[in-house]
Amino acid sequence: MPIYEYRCNKCSKEFELIQKITDEPASKCPDCGGKIERLVSATSFSLKGGGWYKDGYTSSSGEEKKPKTKKKDTKKDS
């Protein structure tokens, strides 16, 4: 279950609540009963390393790799 952060508009207390995704957002501060708002917080989830897209589909300059094609020999036999 996700942990949501809230801040009370009346007493400025910040707190966390564990709620189901389907639960309605909380509306009252547990301390003073004031109106609260849900905060957007940083996640602890981060992707580290090259990853399949970076390693397999892009060059070191960040541009997509293009398939190499054989060059035709343009020399004429005389």
Domain contains 60: no
Model confidence band, residue 74 (pLDDT cutoffs 50, 70, 90) = low
> pLDDT at residue 6 above 80?
yes
Question: One-letter amino acid identity for 1?
Answer: M
CATH number reported for the structural domain that contains residue 26 in this entry = 2.20.28
Question: One-letter amino acid identity for 69?
Answer: T
The answer, as to whether pTM is greater than 0.75, is: no
Cβ-in-10-Å burial (0-12, 13-18, 19+) of 36 comes to buried
27-53 confidence digits (pLDDT tens): 999 999 999 999 987 777 777 766 666
Domain contains 34: yes
Domain contains 8: yes
Domain contains 25: yes
Cβ-in-10-Å burial (0-12, 13-18, 19+) of 32 comes to middle
- Per the structure, the complete domain to which residue 16 belongs is given by 3-43
Rounded Cα–Cα distance for residues 30 and 39 (Å): 16
